Structure 1
Amino acid sequence: MRALVRRFAGRFALTMSLVVLEAGGWILFPLVIGRAIDSVLADSVRGLYELAALGTGTMLIAIVRRLVDSRAYAKIYVGLADEMVASGEESGTSTRTARLGMLREIVEFFENSLPSLVNSVLGLAGTVLILWVLNVPVFLGCVVVAIATVTLYALTGRLTTRYNEGFNDEYERQVDAVQGGDPSDLRNHLRAMMRWNIRLSDLEAANFGINWVFMTGLLVFAVGAAAQQTLEYGAVFAVVMYVFQFVESMMGIPLYYQQWLRLREISGRLATAVAWRPAPEGAT
């Protein structure tokens, strides 16, 4: 997928720039909300104006980013799909149909999932840095939990890839199974797909459950540590909100990692059908 990014570097640079700006706004919300609380308690409205300005600016950036994304990625998908169909005439109809769906998954990842992933990663980095300033014990707790989460998903990465390979192998047979007209063959095909899907789901559920235990322990620790070390109500609120942001990111980022493992496997299948190289002069 890195070659795909290089081919459409200009479009990706534009959309990612907007994503980074939007992420910066979201990172600042807990801090600005805490400042607004302390400002009101001190009989001042300055913090409220800061909060309103941040909310308005972040909203405008988010709207523009979505308008740009939908148009940029639609052009990318149409261009790549045309190339894939034209260069895949030797492949069966079932394989080409399945790979069109797989190509759509990759484009949708860049359009929908990647902005959320960038938001989560930047939010995670910003959250950890701000917690380092606000409350060192909570910061250290976040570091320990992050290491535990990374270790958990690294240990199960190969298993996730193997399950995705099995699922995609069956998926490429789907049109042939439907057109074959043999109810028994179609039933076996669907059952095989669902078995791979269930294995993926069970693995995800197990990882999610273990990770949530880590996060619950962090939340309990953070609330106690914040209340003991910080006197201002707004500062306590900011610490707790940043821990919630950290938890949200650490629960979400591994799901994107699993999605990336699936798309990496898919991109290997499409490499022979789609030219991940600069388009000819004048092409979309």
Structure 2
Amino acid sequence: MVNNTSPTLKKLFQAHRYQISVTYLLTLLENLFQLLYPWAIGIAINGLLLNKYLTLTPLFVIWFAHIITGIIRQVYDTRIFTTIYSNLVTSVILEQDKRGVATSKIVARSDLSRELVDFYERDFPNIITTLFGFFGALVMLFFYDLLIGIYCTALLILLLIVNIFYSRQSRYLNRQLNDRLEQEVAILSDRQNSRIRHHYSLLRKWRIRLSDAEATNGGTIELLGMGMAIVVLLRTVKLPEINIGEIYAIISYFFNYLESLDEVPFLVQQFSRIQDIGERIITN
């Protein structure tokens, strides 16, 4: 069944590939500006300490460009993705009805189809931002100090190992949750108190287990990040000929790196959910 997931998302992307590609290019551009902030602030700090006020110029140019790019992307995204959802939900309803799928499941799947569009509108840009934060910050840390870059690479390897197990758990839990959601309309239509109570009790159970799994994974990442922060701070202050601006830049890039790590549990959970939804609403 896993093989069905990619065609579902792939077909949605192919139908609107040019429009979606534009918004992702704007997202990449925003992330590039975000990546340059610590470098530009570090230059500004060193310059201002020497009364060189023109060193503020790179920071304000980057900042202004970032604001304009963000406005354009948001205005563009709203128009593109509302159109995509309208087309998709119409297709899902007509296709599922033609296949003789029960009305209760069609209603549930029409709601779930919104999450496929949300994946391209919000989750995939978040994945881009997370990966850019990962590797962009990592490259900059290597630029400032080879050993700090190696330390952070080791942290990334540990993270990958932890999330292999979390991904499998999240996939199973999302499948159970979506199984229940597909039955919701039918259960509510029967209006049997015992079935309704049982249904919402199970929804509560699977949502709690999903939340607990995400919290456990996130806590593990936080603990690893806390230990690495101590190592990086000790290394940074002992670098030869280090100046204040460079110290600021290194610490900023490291915490940007950690901030990207914090997003991983949520993104893994969302991707697992989208995989399961994709298997349920395959449509031409």
**TM-score, normalised by the number of residues in structure 1:** 0.93
Residue 219 (structure 1) aligned to one of 211, 229, 253: 229
Q: Does 1:264 align with 2:272?
A: no
CA distance in 1, matches of 2:57, 2:74: 26
CA distance in 1, matches of 2:269, 2:196: 28
Deviation of residue 13 (structure 1)? 1.1
Deviation of residue 116 (structure 1)? 2.3
CA distance in 2, matches of 1:188, 1:93: 21
Paired residues for 1:154-193 under 5 Å: 154-193=164-203
1:70-121 per-residue CA deviation (whole Å, 9 max, x = no partner) reads 1101111000111111122222222111111211111112112222221221
Q: Does 1:86 align with 2:97?
A: no
8 Å CA contact 1:121–1:253 kept in 2: the answer is no
Paired residues for 1:1-284 under 5 Å: 1-89=9-97, 90-229=100-239, 231-271=242-282, 274-275=283-284
CA distance in 1, matches of 2:144, 2:279: 45
CA distance in 2, matches of 1:65, 1:234: 31
Amino acid at match of 1:50: P
Amino acid at match of 2:105: T
Q: Percent identity?
A: 25
Unpaired stretches in structure 1, ≥5 consecutive residues: 276-284
Unpaired stretches in structure 2, ≥5 consecutive residues: 1-8
Deviation of residue 61 (structure 1)? 0.2
Q: Which residue is 2:4 aligned to?
A: none
1:128-170 per-residue CA deviation (whole Å, 9 max, x = no partner) reads 1111110122111110111101100102222211111111000
Amino acid at match of 1:147: I
8 Å CA contact 1:166–1:196 kept in 2: the answer is yes
| Number of matched pairs | 273
Secondary structure, counterpart of 1:81 in structure 2: helix
Q: Which residue is 1:282 aligned to?
A: none
Deviation of residue 7 (structure 1)? 2.2
Amino acid at match of 1:154: I
Amino acid at match of 1:15: T
CA distance in 2, matches of 1:66, 1:112: 11
Q: CA RMSD in A?
A: 1.1
Amino acid at match of 1:218: M
